Structure formats: structure tokens, C-alpha cells
Amino acid sequence: MNWREGSLYHCLLLIFAGAGDLRRPHAVTEPISSDFDGTGIQDKVVWITGASQGIGEVLSKEFATHGAKLILSARRLSELERVRGTLSGSNAPDSIVLIPLDITAGEEVISEAVEKAEAAFGGNGIDIMVHNASAPRPQVAYSKIAEDSTKTSFAVNVIGTIALTKILAPKMAERGRGHFAVLSSVAGKVPAPGQSVYSATKFAVNGYFDTLRSEIGYTGVKVSLICPGPVKTDPTSTDDRQPLPRVTELIIRSIYYEMEETWIAQQPILSMLYLRQHFPLLASFVLQKLGPKRGEEVLDAGQNFSPLSGAKGRGVLEPATLPQAG
């Protein structure tokens, strides 16, 4: 071990030891309260894209439980109807509005969907826009990704999301209220070897919404960037990922408390987030050491690749500070 590697080793030891006790990323200014009961969500008009499966479906259940007035969108009406049938709450399932939407269909189609959503529930407008629509994540080596896959990823994750926001944001700004809750990823904060295109789309989304916040924040419109790490969508899986119900529980609290940026991750990913945030050159050095190995793992595992390794750690939103969903 030379002096450079030795210095790196000791820096990483300090970061890994301390990151578990760091509760919030730089953009979060207030700790999460332990007395969350969701009453502030009651009767809020919440529009969720990508609501037919995964995080979007479970978020729909959380919001419904807390009494939100829900508008659900995804491409397949049949799946939206299935999700609606599973929801319960003071405004669910009978009052839930379904708006089938392909977010890549162009601004004319998206504009029609926005008008329908704005007119729902007496025309009071959208209080919370949850951007959750996402393309399948291509997990292949950088030199192997297909052009069509790249185009689809950007069309859904970036272009469609921006198009919807461009149409809805002025309406929110005019009435002086509204909240964009954007489901991004830790891959939009730290390079993700083996997921170069997905990471690129999330960096783009983060840049757009950070800039949007600076442009319209004075009007009263809020923007929350929520960056989860790997999520366990199959409860029977043995992968060392964060359980989907727990992740969505933390997401809804991030939205409720209007956090500007939230990282929901565990070790070693959490430490890399802090390293990238506070010591970018050191993070670059580490990633260049890890990247080739990750690339080889992607070639071997393909779509089964998981970026997690090492011991389980604690997320930015510390579980001990929040009540379990009951």
C-alpha cells in the first residue's frame, strides 16, 4: 500500500464511521419529526405518475390512507383500475380520478392530461405533483447499451417529465401554491458504474428541478428531490436492499415536510454520497478504482446486477426517528 492508498484508506474509515450518524443531506434544514400523523395531507389533491406498480402503487396507498384526493396516471387503464380497487381512505376508492397517460406522447397529449387533472375535485388545482414515471433501467456496460434504450430512458425520465412540469408549473405559480415531488435516485447524485444512461437521466432531472426551484420558489411553489438507493420490490428476495414499504414511508414524509433534497440509502452507498458531496476529487478517485469491477459485474449479471455490497448501514432518514407505519 503506497502513501496515496493509505491516505485514502484512512479517509474512508473516518467517513464510513461518521456517515451513519449524519441524518440529512446538505439541502435538508430541519430534522424529521417523530410525531408525523399525516393530517396535513388530508384533502390535498395529489397527482402521481407511474402509479400502476412499484413505488407509485405503494405511494398511492400511503396517500389514500392519509386522506389525499388522488389522481393516478400510468399508460394502462386496467392497471390503474386494479390499483384503485386496493385503496382505502376518506377519499378512496370512489373519489379517485384515473387519467391514463403515456408521458412520451408529446406536449399536446400531456397538456390535455394536465387540464383534466387541474379540473378534478372542483377545479382547485394540483397541490402535490409526484413525478414517479420511469423507464426500465438499462443495466449494461457503457459500450453495449442500445440506442433505442437510451432514447426511451431520456424520453420518459427527462423529456416527458419536463414537458408535464413546463405546463403545470405556471398554473401553480399563478395561484401561489404547489409542490413538485420528484422521484430521482442516488444514481443522480453519484455516478453509477454499469448504469450510465440511467444515471445520466437522473443527473439531468436533478439539474432541471434544482434550477426550477431557483426560478419559481419565490412564488410559493416547492420542489423536493427524493433520491432512493436500491429498493427491494420483491419481499421474498434475499437482496440487501431497502424494503419498498419502508422507502415509500420515508418518501411521503419527505414530501410532507417539504424537504428540498432527501437521500434514502444504506451503506456503503450512503458513505459514497457524502464522499461525493464533500470530497468530490476523492470520490472520483474511489469511483475510478471501483468502476471497472462494477462494469465486469454488470457484464456477468446483466439485469440481475445489484450495486449493493458490504454491511447494511443506516439511511439518511434515520429509522429510529420515525414511527413505523401501522
Q: Count how many Cα atoms sit within 13 Å of the Cα of residue 132 in the half-sphere of its side chain.
A: 28
Cell digits of residue 302: 446483466
Reference 128, options 62, 76, 33; nearest CA is 62
Place of cell 437522473: 202
CA quadruple 32, 37, 38, 42: dihedral sign: negative
Task: Say how many Å lie between the first and final Cα of the chain, rounded.
Answer: 51
198 is catalytic: yes
CA distances, 292 to each of 286, 296, 298 (Å): 11, 6, 10
How far is the C-alpha of 154 from the C-alpha of 91, rounded, in Å? Answer: 34
State the SS3 of 194-253.
CCHHHHHHHHHHHHHHHHHHHHHHHHCEEEEEEEECCEECCCCCCCCCEEHHHHHHHHHH
Which of 198, 218, 256, 257 is catalytic? The answer is 198
Q: Are 182 and 225 in contact (CB under 8 A)?
A: yes
Q: Are 128 and 47 in contact (CB under 8 A)?
A: yes
Q: Are 157 and 210 in contact (CB under 8 A)?
A: no
Q: Are 48 and 130 in contact (CB under 8 A)?
A: yes
Q: Where are the alpha helices (DSSP H) in the chain?
A: 3-19, 54-65, 77-86, 107-123, 147-154, 161-175, 196-216, 244-256, 269-278, 280-301
Cell digits of residue 249: 414511508
Residues labelled as active-site residues: 198
